[in-house]
Amino acid sequence: MKRARAEILSTRRVGAYRSITLVAPEIAERSRPGQFLAIAMPEGRAFILRRHFSIHQASRHGGWAGTLEFVVDPSVGAGTGWLAGAGAHEFLDVIGPLGKAFSYPKRLTNCLLLAEGRGAASLFFLAQELVARHKRVDMILGGRTLESVFKPVDAKRLSQTVVVMTADGSLGERGGILDALPDAVARADAEVVYAVAPAPTLRSIAAFCREHRLPAQVAIEERMGCGFGLCNTCVVPVATKDRSAYENLRACVDGPVFDPSRILWDRWLGELPIVPPTAEPVPAIPHGGGEP
Amino acid sequence: MTAARSLAVDLGGIVLPTPVMIAAGCGGTGRELVGLVDLRRVGAIVSRTITVTERVGADMPRIAESPAGIVWETGLQNPGLDPFVSGELLRLARGGARIVVSIGGGSLEEYVHMTSVLQGRPEVAAIEIHLSGRDDELDRDVLGAHPDRLNEIVGAVARMSLVPVFAKLPGGCDDVVGLARTAVRAGATGVTLLASPPALGLDATRERLRIGTVSGWLSGPALKPITLRAVFDVAQALPDVPVIASGGVRTGEDAVECLLAGAWAVQVGTATLTDPAAAVTVAQGIVRRLNAAGLTSPAGLRGRLRPPEPAGAESHPVSTP
């Protein structure tokens, strides 16, 4: 992990998003898919916390060596709005790469990658690395409208098949990425699932993978305080190895990539009205004594 | 001949290399700040607040931004005293900074037990008593807001401890000077002013609370004027008592303001979350001010605050509307 004063090389519009490329060789050469950056906000504003973005590209070789790319959704709030307006040759205070990366399957080959909106940014980086390891990659990309589906055309270069889902049906099929999951798993003969999406969607993906005994990794998009483990606010309840208890792990240093079968979704997001069926009995996990 | 310039401060028995500490809960567990700040140049690190038994912490979400601040609640997530002493404490100390351990609890027995375990540890330079938690024994919301209880807890810890003891007074209380006086009479070496005041985060669009436990605490630059007032009042009333300012200190200038108001040292908390090297840059800001003022020690800033100019004095360039 390094802290750098990084120059913005270029920015460009990608659908509803803004993609920002930085010159940060020390961070780029260490970056792996699933990891993220913490970008400081300018002095003298009402908002003070760093903003956190998964790494979309980290170039270690060739003409773009030493550059890093991340993707901003300007509609999120004041901080990201400011960042989306930043221009080339401005400098950003960047800490990275942060967090645990996705791991690659050793034996299994067919990987299904699915993401909603901007979450897809880190999956492109992952897809590249998987393809370089001779894995088969298939993708499901979703969004509210066609503008918010991230790089659907580029996805075709990396994956065998791409399914696009939009809530309004303006691109691809109408619906969410979950609707496309069962068919895509069958068609691609998927053996491993990677997903980046809002927590409620990830919970449903986790239930599906558990039911079909598919190993999966999810990158969660919790709001973080610092991003490097100090503040203990971006926690996710994760079962201990023997599943006899749980601990609140920090998404920034112990994640953001987690095994979804170990996340206590009910504890995290509240109980679902209808609990999805599970292939194996859910282990009884005692509720620890929280702060009174 | 001029005396050597030094940032060192003596807080009633604990000498810190600089008067800038990292506040409780913002200094990590000995791993996070490696490579981001040279901890030997930090005055001290206050550990996250430790309780006798493990706490898994508060429900999510735990943090929300507010203008110039954050609303947060971690529920004192910590591994419990024994795992802390055998792991985190040693790692923190290895970084090279002095370690102040923050202890919290809901009963007198818990505070006494923690003090008995910690006071013999060579890594522990001082103890800070977290007093903003719930009082389980007396069934009260804020343990340290009641002088009787404050006296009891601080007294027990101070009598037993071999290292200096600082009482971190709860934020949002009425009589800070009275509570500070109580803590010092009970045996505290000094006071930390103040713990984060209680706060609420709301999302009007979604009509929801932003913090999973409903209420949280406010931290960040928004607190500075409140900190200054508390420090000023206590320092006026108890000029010989080491006062540590905590809340809203982000820059060297903020720290200088606290020292002028009467603080002996400052803590940076939220600032460390955005700038992991904040404790060092704040200290550098103090050095610049000392140099400019021709002072040799941060203690020289204490008491330099001049009373308000009398009305009609010529030094008011700004006309009132």
User: How many CB atoms sit inside 10 A of residue B292's CB?
Assistant: 8
Q: Give B27→chain A minimum CA distance, Å.
A: 6
Q: Give A286→chain B minimum CA distance, Å.
A: 12
What's the pLDDT score for residue A273? Answer: 55
Residues of chain A with pLDDT under 50: 275-277, 279, 281-292
pLDDT digits (tens, 9 = 90+) for B9-64: 999 999 999 999 999 999 999 999 999 999 999 999 999 999 999 999 998 899 99
Task: For chains A and B, count residue pairs whose Cβ atoms are closer than 8 Å.
Answer: 121
Q: Is residue B1 part of a domain?
A: no
- Name the residue facing A253 among B32, B54, B63 (closest C-beta): B32
What's the pLDDT score for residue B5? Answer: 82
Answer whether A1 sits within 8 Å of B26, measured CB to CB. Answer: no
Distance between CA atoms of residues B254 and B249, nearest Å: 5
- Quick one: closest CA in A to B221, which residue? A48
What's the pLDDT score for residue A222? Answer: 78
Q: Is residue B165 part of a domain?
A: yes
ipTM: 0.88
Range of the domain at B92: 9-57+77-197+221-301
Answer whether A228 sits within 8 Å of B276, measured CB to CB. Answer: yes
A18 three-class SS: strand
What's the pLDDT score for residue A19? Answer: 96
Q: B104 with B76: CB under 8 angstroms?
A: yes
What's the pLDDT score for residue A270? Answer: 81
pLDDT digits (tens, 9 = 90+) for B134-172: 999 999 999 999 999 999 999 999 999 999 999 999 999
Q: Which of B56, B26, B272 is nearest to A249 (CA)?
A: B56
- Quick one: closest CA in A to B277, which residue? A3
pLDDT digits (tens, 9 = 90+) for A95-131: 999 999 999 999 999 999 999 999 999 999 999 999 9
Q: Give B314→chain A minimum CA distance, Å.
A: 31
Domain extents in chain A: 2-98, 110-221+256-269
Chain A residues in contact with B64 (beta carbon < 8 A): 223
Q: Is residue B213 part of a domain?
A: no
Give the total number of structural domains in chain B.
1
Q: Give B223→chain A minimum CA distance, Å.
A: 13
CA-to-CA separations, B293 to A201, A238, B95, B287, B297, in angstroms, rounded: 59, 54, 33, 10, 11
Distance between CA atoms of residues A230 and B270, nearest Å: 10
- Name the residue facing B76 among A48, A231, A291 (closest C-beta): A291
Q: What CATH class does A2-98 carry?
A: mainly beta
What's the pLDDT score for residue B297? Answer: 94
Query: Which residues 6+ apart lie within 8 Å of A151 measured at CB?
Result: A14, A15, A120, A124, A141
Q: Is residue B28 part of a domain?
A: yes
Q: Is residue B285 part of a domain?
A: yes
What's the pLDDT score for residue A241? Answer: 87
Q: Is residue B311 part of a domain?
A: no
Residue B309 has pLDDT above 50, yes or no: yes
Q: Which of B10, B14, B26, B25 is nearest to B282 (CA)?
A: B26
CATH number listed for the domain at residues A110-221+256-269: 3.40.50.80
